[in-house]
Structure 1
Amino acid sequence: MTDEEETPRQRPLHAWLDRVRRTRSGSLTLKIAVGVLGTAVIALGIVLIPFPGPGWAIVLAGLAILALEFHWAHRLFTFTKRQLTRWLDWIKRRHWTVRVLIGAAGLVFVACVIWASVYVSFDVNLWTEISRRLGH
């Protein structure tokens, strides 16, 4: 199935969007609503990127919302999906040790982000605190 084909679940949404787009005011209102909602979701995702969790997934969800009405967002979303799929396929073809190393690097990155977030937000050095509490 290509990106242009629709699944049965998408058809009612696209049919409804097409009905709204038929009027000039409906089209403009839809464009504004999708633009505001998509931008808000992307902004939330960007705020959440440094923290462990779904920050990037939320950014992609916001881009998917924008892709409903904006051609540039649709092209960017399609490109991003394609690159993410290529990356995941590449990882799946690697030996399990390479996958473990990639996962470990991801965990180290997340640990560093948590440390930096706590240090910047609360002025607490987690390494010092853990050492102190362990009695070292």
Structure 2
Amino acid sequence: MEQHERPGRPGADRGDAGRTMLAERRQRPRWRQRLSTTLELIRANPTGRVALKIFIAIAGALVVTLGIALIPLPGPGWLLVIAGLGVWAVEFHWARRLLGFTRRHVHNWTQWVKDRSLGVRFLLGSVGLVFVGSVVWLSLKYSFGIDVVAEALHYLATH
């Protein structure tokens, strides 16, 4: 089945702009093209647009809520919060801006740490490990009633 050129489609008498848009689409990974096309089809229908907004809002809220719940524990808490922002950024402009802000600041922090001496990086890593260790210890102590430090000291005293 042959597809006819229609106005508004890439390559349909649009000159350089159409070729540029087509070249940009070819550079994107195939899965992103499929996702983009699917989202465009859903947004073309008013009911689909509303349903997509609701779905994205709920899915993003679930991921962000799970991430916030996991922040005090070691693991991917902040990563899940940022992933939830990424989900929201599909439909919501404010989330797209906040995600860009977060990316810039994480990138700047990473660059700042890379530019420091090995001693400063070691100190920052040590502070991070002490913080994570404290969070794990307090989480275990107050959530499950397991005092790892007391247990370790007791073990060392008896053996």
TM-score (norm 2): 0.79
Letter in 1 for 2:154: R
Equivalent residue for 2:28, pick from 8, 28, 34: 8
Unpaired segments ≥5 residues, structure 2: 1-23
After superposing the two structures, state which structure 1 stretch, 95-104 or 10-19, moved more. 10-19
Deviation, structure 1 residue 122: 2.0
Letter in 1 for 2:64: I
Deviation, structure 1 residue 15: 1.8
Deviation, structure 1 residue 135: 1.3
Q: Pairwise mapping of residues 1-136 of structure 1 onto structure 2 (< 5 A)?
A: 8-9=28-29, 10-135=32-157
Q: 2 CA distance for matches of 1:58 and 1:122?
A: 24
Deviation, structure 1 residue 130: 0.7
Q: Percent of pairs identical after alignment?
A: 42
Tell me the SS of whatever aligns to 2:28.
Answer: coil
Unpaired segments ≥5 residues, structure 1: none
Structure possessing the higher radius of gyration over alpha carbons: 2
Q: 2 CA distance for matches of 1:84 and 1:65?
A: 18
Specify which structure has the bigger relative contact order, considering alpha-carbon pairs within 8 angstroms and separated by 6 or more residues. Answer: 1
After superposing the two structures, state which structure 1 stretch, 108-117 or 13-22, moved more. 13-22
Letter in 2 for 1:125: D
TM-score (norm 1): 0.92
Q: 2 CA distance for matches of 1:128 and 1:43?
A: 33
Q: Alignment RMSD, CA only?
A: 1.5
Deviation, structure 1 residue 131: 0.6
Describe the superposition over 1:108-135 as per-residue Cα deviations: whole angstroms up to 9, x where unpaired: 0010001100111122322211110111
Q: 1 CA distance for matches of 2:125 and 2:69?
A: 23
